[in-house]
Chains A and B, each alone.
Chain A
Amino acid sequence: MPMYSLILRSASHFLLPLLLLFSIFLLLRGHNEPGGGFIGGLVASAAIALYLFSMDVKAARQVLHIDPRELLGWGLTLAVLSGVPAVFWHQPFFTAQWLTLELPALGEVKLSTVLLFDIGVYMVVIGSVLTVLLALADADDARH
């Protein structure tokens, strides 16, 4: 990729972890306030896309560690599976199940299948957006 900018490159090194953290924050606060898996996933993929623009395709793939298509697949699996536990309580699929934990430091923490679903969505969004972006970037590289 012909673009090279020192400022962008240095900035993206700092921005990448920040944006990823922010995306997880968005993911976790999603249920009762604006946010959630979809938006969090978009922010996370934007972070990696920024990295892709400032570095190159290879570096972006390395940051990701895993093929985005596999991420997509696992995310989808998780999202579908999150509907299943309801059956064990003799309720229809996708009925939300809540588990409230009292943790000493954090106070009351609610875990739910909705959260699992949201994490699945988060992974699906990252996976699909990056599959498309990386494919486009590869095609662009091949042309140069």
Chain B
Amino acid sequence: MRPEVALPILIPLLAGALSLAFWRSRAMQRGIGVVGTGVMMLSAWVLLYTTWQEGYLVMHMGNWPAPFGIVLVADLLSAIMVVLAGITGFATAIYSLATLGKRHEHFGYYPLMHLLLAGVNGAFLTGDIFNLYVWFEVMLVASFALLILGGERAQMEGAIKYVTLNLVSSALFLSAIGLLYGLIGTLNMADLADKIAQLEDPGMVKVVAMLFLVAFGIKAAAFPFFFWLPASYHTPQVAVSALFAGLLTKVGVYALFRVFTLIFSLEDPFTQNVLLWMAGLTMLTGVLGAAAQYEFRRILSFHIISQIGYMILGLALFTPLALIGGVFYIMHHIIVKANLFFISGLIYRLKGSYELRELGGVYRSHPWLALLFLIPALSLAGLPPLSGFFAKFILIRAGIEAQAWWLVGVALLVGLLTLYSMVKIWSEVFWKAAPPSAGKTPEPRTRNDALLYLSIGGLALLTVLIGLGAQPVFVLAEQAAAQLLDPRGYIEAVLGGEA
């Protein structure tokens, strides 16, 4: 009996319910927002600590034994993801205190945010594939509503694309679950992994695996299913964008990691090749798309795609080192990306524009902000000693060891191009003199700005810490990868050893 496993799901659910109950009181909702996400983050750290100490944590919901009931399972990967979700959620809650207007809050921003976090954590922690689908839907419904918060034209258009693609992906996911259940007759992931090996029809398994790949590929915005992401991510409120950018696609990536290490084996060369190609092309298209953009948030959106490529590369190479790199990359990326979106929002507040051409001179007026931007930006591009350098370094080293030369080349090239577009933002927004007709008049400075700097500075500090203290993080990722490579432990933990 491990109550820790369920807490990261229950806390945001409870916080969301309470902030609905205090519908009329804005102050109450804000308070619950910060406290709820804060407590959730704490529970996530506790979870990580206990999984680190004791290995797998399993909880059978409602005391139904596996594989009949729904189980929640935490291994190190899930625990890491939950911690990241907690950090991002907490930072977003603080950030949104200062940026969201009354109109947005009245529309139900806080309950939705908690619901989204509950869905994300549920997806990370569940050990049942249909339950994974349910959590995906919880997360999606919340994200749909958050996406159109405000109801501007661009948001509507972005939302239609986002909703359509995600519904298609959900339907595919559901079909794949149906096929899998028809084949094997169980939905518990550990049980599935146990029984799929005994199946005598490898062709059918491959079909199902590909269906899962497409479904999660859409969610993770991997090539060639990424179109919805740059069309929608730059439209909502910045706090929402940051939350999405940090977490949503990563849930897709997590699902890929989970399903393809646990249930489907990557030793099959066909599946592995498909994943490798996906990884390479995702990196390349994402970064090329970003290079062509001149809008702050669109550049960032395209970079999400190229970064997803790196993570999938880590999975696709499927060597211990590559998986370590993949996990490390996820950790680094979520924090950095959310932070970059926060900064873009802050600059919008200061200068009233997202267009690079209309911006400029921020370095002169806000040198500290410029420094804070440089930390995540250079980390994203992978310069030492920041966190991105180690993530990329591990991955490329794994690529060299696996002798996947063209992928190593692509990864290096993409790193270079990322640096290019970060430098582009730097020189356009911060360095060059402000253009004379600098958009709208900047909003008056309020004391709320301190909150923005607090969340941005906190995340930047984390980036530096991951970079400087790379060794413990590496060990953590190493353990997580070792667990991924050896699914027996997971299966035995869930089914209670007799499997």
A residues in contact (CB < 8 Å) with B: 67, 69-70, 72-77, 79-81, 83-84, 86-87, 90-96
Contact = CB atoms under 8 A, between A and B. Distances in A.
B20 A76 contact: yes
B24 A91 contact: no
Given A73-B23, A91-B63, 20 more contacts: A67-B24, A70-B22, A73-B18, A73-B19, A73-B20, A73-B21, A76-B13, A76-B16, A76-B20, A77-B14, A77-B18, A79-B17, A80-B13, A80-B14, A84-B10, A87-B3, A92-B61, A92-B62, A92-B63, A93-B59
Contacts of B60: 92
Given A70-B20, A74-B21, A93 B14 contact: no
A72 B23 CA distance: 10
Interface SS of B by simple majority: helix
Contact of A92 (B1, B17, B111): B1
A120 to B, nearest CB: 9
A73 B17 contact: yes
Contacts of B16: 76
Residue from B13, B59, B62 having most chain A Cβ neighbours under 10 A: B62
Contacts of B59: 92-93
Closest 5 CB pairs of A and B: A73-B20, A73-B21, A76-B17, A77-B17, A95-B63
B1 A70 contact: no
Nearest to A71: B21
Interface of B: 1, 3, 6, 10, 13-14, 16-24, 59-63, 111
Contacts of A90: 1
A36 to B, nearest CB: 16
Given A67-B23, A73-B23, A80-B10, A93 B18 contact: no
B121 to A, nearest CB: 14
A12 B21 CA distance: 29
A86 to B, nearest CB: 8
A81 to B, nearest CB: 7
Given A76-B13, A77-B14, A81-B14, A94 B23 contact: no
Contacts of B62: 92-96
Contact of A91 (B1, B13, B14): B1
A72 B17 CA distance: 8
B308 to A, nearest CB: 33
Nearest to A94: B62
Contacts of A77: 14, 17-18, 21
A34 to B, nearest CB: 21
A70 B23 CA distance: 6
Given A73-B17, A77-B17, A93 B10 contact: yes
A87 B10 CA distance: 13
Contacts of A96: 62
Contacts of B14: 77, 80-81
Contact of B61 (A73, A75, A93): A93
Residue from A81, A90, A94, A95 having most chain B Cβ neighbours under 10 A: A94
A52 B14 CA distance: 31
Given A92-B59, A92-B63, A73 B22 contact: yes
A79 B20 CA distance: 14
16 contacts: A67-B23, A67-B24, A70-B21, A73-B23, A74-B21, A76-B17, A76-B20, A77-B14, A79-B17, A86-B63, A92-B3, A92-B59, A92-B61, A94-B62, A95-B63, A96-B62
A90 B59 CA distance: 11
Nearest to B23: A69
B20 A83 contact: no
